[in-house]
Amino acid sequence: MTETVIKTDKLTKRFGDFIATNGITFEVHKGEIFGFLGANGAGKTTAMRMLCGLSKPSSGSAQVAGFDVYKQTEQIKRNIGYMSQKFSLYEDLTVVENIRFFGGIYGLSNADIKTKSESLLAQLGMESEAKKLVGSLPLGWKQKLSFSVAVLHRPKIVFLDEPTGGVDPVTRRQFWNLIYAAAQDGITIFVTTHYMDEAEYCNRISIMVDGKIEALDTPRALKQRYNTTTMDDVFYQLARGAKRSE
Amino acid sequence: MKQFLTFVRKEFAHVLRDRKTLLILFGMPVVQILIFGFALTSEVKNSRVLIVDNANDAASQQLLTKIEASQYFEVDRSVMSPLQMEAAFREGEIKMAIVFPANFNEDLLHQNQAHVQIVTDASDPNTATSLTNYVSSIIQDYQASLNQTLSVPLRILPETRFIYNPQLKGVYNYVPGVMALVLMLVCVMMTAVSIVREKETGTMEVLLVSPFKPVLVILSKAVPYLILSLVNVGTILLMSIFVLDLPVAGNLLLLLAESTLFIITCLTLGIFISIKTSSQQVAMLISLMGMLLPTMLFSGFMFPIENMPVPLQIISNIVPSKWYYLIVKAVMIKGLGFSAIWKETLILAGMTLFLFVISLKNFKIRLA
Ligand SMILES: Nc1ncnc2c1ncn2[C@@H]1O[C@H](COP(=O)(O)OP(=O)(O)OP(=O)(O)O)[C@@H](O)[C@H]1O
Ligand SMILES: [Mg+2]
């Protein structure tokens, strides 16, 4: 019996005449790693922002953690973590200050923040960087830190918008280990990516083309359906008809 | 509440970490006061003073020696007709003329009082007052020394006259002006930029996804600048008291309360700008062009508003600093009470309320 944590029905966002996200319908199950793929401009970020309560859908419906995206954004916010496409820690604050701040605004107690930040730094192997300014860290470390901060308050679901963009392969691998560890803890992962090798790490993936979800299944099933051995190829077959590109 | 404090602490960390900006913020009022102050007062030292001694008697000689002993200005003795004197003033050859009447000593002995005429070029009102005060105090000293040995006190009455700017317009007016300018800069620009920075870097999005109330995000950003501005007000007041010898003539608490009101006006203005813009550069530009420039032009401390064309006079009414400037001038320099400034206070409060309401409205739309 799988529990559904995200459920959308014909979720749509229009910007004037332009339909950024066009009637997407899907479900995400508790504890799974759900890959949300699509070319540049496909509408991934737009969809994610609606699910996080950052932008109001034009039509359709969606529940996140059992709450309605129109009316219950406050409850949704309490149950999710979010890592935006832009790097979004404070570069002029130290690592510890960032952790303390985000822990603080999620209402964690001081004692809780202290133990969590210690275990977090140990997990990332960043104990000696604790007092350094975040701006001075390499990108890969920043992204890992950013992820750890996004799950600091143990959300039910964490939304990751291209968390590994521009990061080297080794660090990407480490990043995915963090994702696995979080998933083991029962956190549902909703992640967008451009890297097809990362798609393979997901339990299920959806592929968006021009605002619509064109395919949704496990990586293995998709490869079978499109009669190929690589996700790259699946993606290419689906996305070549796309009109939008950057 | 704890979340709010967490947020305020973080804002302070931002402000305190940025040493360069901090230095500018705290140094600016000091530098401005000094620059304005010295630009206006430094001339006292080399001012040429003309002495026309029509009496040339014992008393006038004694007094003159005292005046000449001062190292503050260069003294010239000469006999000039009023016309020649006027020409000398016009040419800028002299800043001040001290004229003794022909029967100075006699008047003093027989009528127990004598007049001295002190004429000062007040086109630079600051120098003029300093010079006049200085000479008057020398005369008073001399009078006191005479009276030590006498039973009937003698009086030397200086007749001071300012030419070119008899109302001494502009004297110390720059202090309220600097206050308005500094507060405007700190509150409007810094608040706007610090909120827009979060939008630009993307941290605002993360904050909006958190359960922290968006309105509190904005409010907690205003707190550090409120405190910083109060410190700046304190600095300016201390400097004006101890460096410029310009005490607060009116009620200090009233002045502080009015300043707090103006600070809040500026903060709301900064918040409004930050809601309407999405890049730091634009926010900075709007703050500078839209706020700082009007403050300099229209508050009346650099250019008298009465002399402006009517359309500009009307425009000046929507500049908040104009009202604050009037308030500070009234309380600090003229020593007036609340009854004299309630209208200005009401206007400022109204502006604040208006800005607050439209900020709130626009803010909600953004989140939809
Ligand atoms: N606020 C907006 N107003 C108008 N158009 C927008 C707005 N936000 C996004 N769009 C448009 O919607 C489309 C989808 O954008 P979105 O950011 O969701 O794409 P994406 O799949 O996340 O792409 P990327 O991989 O580049 O991040 C793009 O064409 C974009 O230009
Ligand atoms: Mg995107």
Cβ–Cβ under 8 Å, residues A189 and A32: yes
Asked if B240 and B277 count as a contact pair (C-beta separation under 8 A), the reply is: no
Q: Over the stretch A70-112, which tens digit does the pLDDT of each residue have?
A: 999 889 999 999 998 888 899 999 999 999 999 999 989 999 9
Q: How far apart are CA A137 and CA A157, in angstroms?
A: 27
Cα separation, B244 vs B237, in Å, equals 10
Distance CA B221, CA B202 (A): 16
Helix (H) or strand (E) holding A209: strand A204-209
Instruction: Look up tokens 């230095």; give the residue.
Output: B23
In whole angstroms, give the CA distance from residue B301 to residue B175: 9
Give the H or E element holding residue A81.
strand A80-83
Q: Which residues contact B91 (CB under 8 A, 6 or more apart)?
A: none
Q: Confirm if A197 and A181 have CB atoms less than 8 A apart.
A: no
Q: Give B44's pLDDT tier (boundaries 50, 70, 90).
A: low
Please state the rounded mean pLDDT for residues B247-254.
88
Res. B161 pLDDT band, cuts 50 70 90: confident
Sequence-separated (6 or more) residues with CB below 8 Å from residue B245: none
Q: Mean pLDDT in chain A?
A: 91
H or E element: which one contains A214?
Answer: strand A212-217
| B4 Cα to chain A: minimum distance (Å) | 8
Q: Which residues line ligand 1 (CB under 6 A)?
A: A 15, 18, 20, 38, 40-46, 85, 244
Whole-prediction pTM? 0.77
Distance of CA A193 to the CA centre of its chain: 9
Find the range with the poorest average confidence among A20-34, A87-101, B108-122.
Answer: B108-122
Given a cut of 60, whether residue B145 has pLDDT beyond it is yes
Query: Does the beta carbon of A176 lie under 8 angstroms from any beta carbon of chain B?
Result: no
Which pair of structure tokens corresponds to residue B43? 């001339």
- From chain B, pick out residues whose CB is under 8 angstroms from the CB of A101: 6-7, 9-10
In this prediction, residue B38 carries a pLDDT of 67
Residue whose CA is at the smallest distance from ligand 1 atom 3: A15
pLDDT of B169 > 80? The answer is no
Give the pLDDT score at B212.
Answer: 86
Q: What is the rounded distance in angstroms from the CA atom of residue B10 to the CA atom of residue B179?
A: 27
Q: Specify the higher pLDDT residue, A109 or B68.
A: A109
SS3 state at A99? helix
Query: What average pLDDT does chain B have?
Result: 83
Amino acid B168: pLDDT:
60
| Average pLDDT of the residues in B126-132 | 78
B243, B33 contact by CB (below 8 A): yes
- The full set of domain ranges for chain A reads 4-23+31-88+156-244
**Minimum-distance ligand 1 atom for the alpha carbon of A244:** 29
Hey, how many other C-beta atoms are within 10 angstroms of the C-beta on B91? 8
Q: What is the mean pLDDT of residues B137-150?
A: 84
| b/e per residue A143-178 (b: at least 16 CB within 10 A) | bbbbbbbbbbbebbbbbbbbbbbebeeebbebbbeb
With a CB cutoff of 8 Å and minimum separation 6, the contacts of B350 are none
Higher-confidence residue of A85 and A6: namely A6
Q: Which of B6, B10, B209 sits opposite A93 (nearest CB)?
A: B10
Compute the distance between CA of residue B101 and CA of residue B59 in angstroms, rounded to an integer.
Answer: 12
Residues B164, B124: contact at Cβ < 8 Å? Answer: no
Task: Report yes or no: B212 and A105 within 8 Å, Cβ to Cβ.
Answer: yes
**Quick one: which ligand is closest to A246's CA?**
1
Instruction: State the number of CA atoms in the 13 A half-sphere of B266 facing the CB.
Output: 34
Residue type, A12: T
Supply the angle between the helices B252-276 and B320-328 in degrees, to the nearest 10: 170
B167/B222: higher pLDDT: B222
Could you report the per-residue pLDDT of A198-209, keeping only the tens digit for each? 898 999 999 999
Residue B146 near residue B190 (C-beta atoms within 8 A) = no
Summarize chain B as % helix, strand, coil (round to 5): 70, 10, 20
Q: Does B6 touch chain A (CB under 8 A)?
A: yes
- The sign of the CA dihedral A140, A141, A146, A149 is positive
The Cβ of residue A209 has, within 10 Å, a number of other Cβ atoms equal to 22
Give the ligand with the smallest distance to the CA of B278: 1
> In this model, does residue B244 exceed pLDDT 80?
no
Residues 6+ apart with CB under 8 A from B55: B100, B101, B102, B103, B104, B105
Residue B179 φ/ψ, nearest 5 degrees: -60, -50
**How many Å apart are CA A130 and CA A138, to the nearest integer?**
14
CB A201 within 8 A of CB A177: no
The whole-angstrom separation of Cα A134 and Cα A127 is: 13
Neighbours of B81 (CB within 10 A): 9
Beta strands in chain B (DSSP E): 48-53, 74-77, 96-100, 113-121, 155-163
CA B131 to ligand 1 center in whole angstroms = 69
Confidence check: pLDDT of B92 > 80: no
* Confidence tier at B45 by pLDDT (50, 70, 90): low
What's the distance, CA B172 to chain centroid? 5
Q: Is the pLDDT of residue B39 over 70?
A: no
Q: Which option is the CATH number for A4-23+31-88+156-244: 3.40.1280.10, 1.10.287.110, 3.40.50.2300, 3.40.50.300?
A: 3.40.50.300
Tell me which of A157-161, B81-85, B227-231, B319-323 is least confident: B81-85
pLDDT greater than 90 at residue B16: no
The mean pLDDT of B329-335, rounded to a whole number, is 82
The Cα–Cα gap between B70 and A188 comes to 85
According to the model, what pLDDT value does residue B42 have? 45
pLDDT recorded at residue A24 = 93
Greater model confidence, B45 or B84: B84
The helix (run of H) or strand (run of E) holding residue B37 is helix B19-41
CA distance linking residue B316 with residue B177, whole number of Å: 14
Q: Which residues, other chains included, contact B158 with Cβ-Cβ below 8 Å and sequence gap of 6+?
A: B115, B116, B117, B118, B135, B136, B139
The residue of chain B nearest to residue A84, with distances taken between CA atoms, is: B206
Ligand 1 centroid, distance to B212 Cα (angstroms)? 26
Q: Which ligand is nearest to the CA of A21?
A: 1
Count of C-beta atoms within a 10 Å radius of residue A135:
13
Quote the CA–CA distance of A122 and A128 in Å, as a whole number. 10
Is residue B2 predicted with pLDDT exceeding 60? yes
Rama region for B337: left / alpha / beta (φ>0; ψ in -120 to 50; rest): beta
Give the up-direction half-sphere exposure of residue A150: CA atoms within 13 A in the CB hemisphere: 34
Is there a contact between A202 and A190 (Cβ–Cβ < 8 Å)? no
N-to-C CA span, chain A: 41
How many contacts, defined by CB atoms under 8 Å, are there between A and B?
68
Query: Chain A, 48-107: which have a CB under 8 Å from a chain B CB?
Result: 52-54, 56, 74, 77-78, 80, 82-93, 97, 100-102, 104-107
Lowest pLDDT segment from A103-117, A181-195, B74-88, B134-148 = B74-88
Of B143 and A160, the structure prediction assigns the larger pLDDT to A160
| Average pLDDT score over residue span A186-197 | 91
> Tokens 């007094």 — which residue?
B63
Confidence grade of residue A26 (pLDDT, cut at 50, 70, 90): very high
Q: What is the pLDDT of residue A69?
A: 92
Domain B47-163 has CATH 3.10.180.10: no
pLDDT computed for residue B31 by the predictor: 85
Domain boundaries, chain B: 47-163, 171-362
Tell me what pLDDT residue B368 has.
Answer: 42
